[in-house]
Structure 1
Amino acid sequence: MRKQKPVKDSFVIMTELVLPNDTNTLNNLMGGRMMHLMDIAAAIAAQKHSNRIVVTASVDNVSFREGIRLGNVVTLQAQVTRSFASSMEVHIDVWAEDIPSGTRIKSNEAFFTFVAVDQSGRPIDVPEALPETPEEIALYEGALRRRQLRLVLAGRMKPEEATELKALFAME
């Protein structure tokens, strides 16, 4: 049996100020820069959970709901939702805050997958993720469906083998 580790132990908060070099011609944070920040925050969460070097394996759909403006403060919150043998799913929420106006909006949300590796770059086992709160449990329970969908879309799993996905579409 793998060692268990509470998912709360992987929680990361990262804060950045949007500066002119981070923006596009409309003075909004560039999407690539946002994804860079998300990858860093998520990698730190995965490292905290695994105590290992981690590499990004996949990024789920990233939607840009609201533009983040020059001068906004961006807060990223990342936490492991579930772990498998050597991989970990990490959930990231991104908030944009305009401090002078006192407004704060959720601008992005995504799931990233990381694989823990040894010094030679080979996958290595990670602790089992232990959810405790209702939100952590809900994210944990959905992680297997998201994982199967990722594997099917990547061609690494046959659709008929995705038992969790089939259960979503089963007709009685």
Structure 2
Amino acid sequence: MLRQPAKCLDREFRALGATRIAKNSDGVSYRFPDGGTFVVRPGLTPGKGMKMLEAVQRRYGMPRERSKSNPLRSAVSREGHPEINAERLVMSHHATGRLHLMRQQARLDPIEVSDALRFPERILFSPIHESWLWVRGRVIIAAAATEDGMTLVRTILWATEDLWEQNPRPKETP
């Protein structure tokens, strides 16, 4: 049962690729990558919220409980990915940290990062993170082209749930 149905639906809809398009007295409107829209009205009861969630999950993907660690759960195919230059690469502080950790955990070779950018198996878009994803083998590279022609690697992710389970991120200490 949903305790806070609007909050739960917001989280689940965005995890399935929706973006919020309007918030007003009629409720919050969400648009999915295929153009489908849903409106979460004020005062939504938990029962009606569950029915709405089930309908959306049937249409757009498996239930969140089964896909929590799937890094591509919200990624969609989309035209217009930026042209990047794998020869002119700069990594964010976060991406550098991820590369270091992934090298320690599973001997990730920097060539795997380069190959994912040069020879991707797929290029997808993540509406949740508003980022393009280059996917190849064990990795997903979130990257963007900068104005000066550089390729900025924002982060590096494991490409499968199994790899995440085998190589979890360390717990942060307060």
TM-score band, normalised by shorter chain = under 0.3
TM-score when normalising by structure 1: 0.25
Bigger Rg, which one: 2
Structure ranking higher in strand proportion: 1
Higher relative contact order at CA 8 Å, sep ≥6: structure 1 or structure 2?
A: 1
TM-score when normalising by structure 2: 0.25
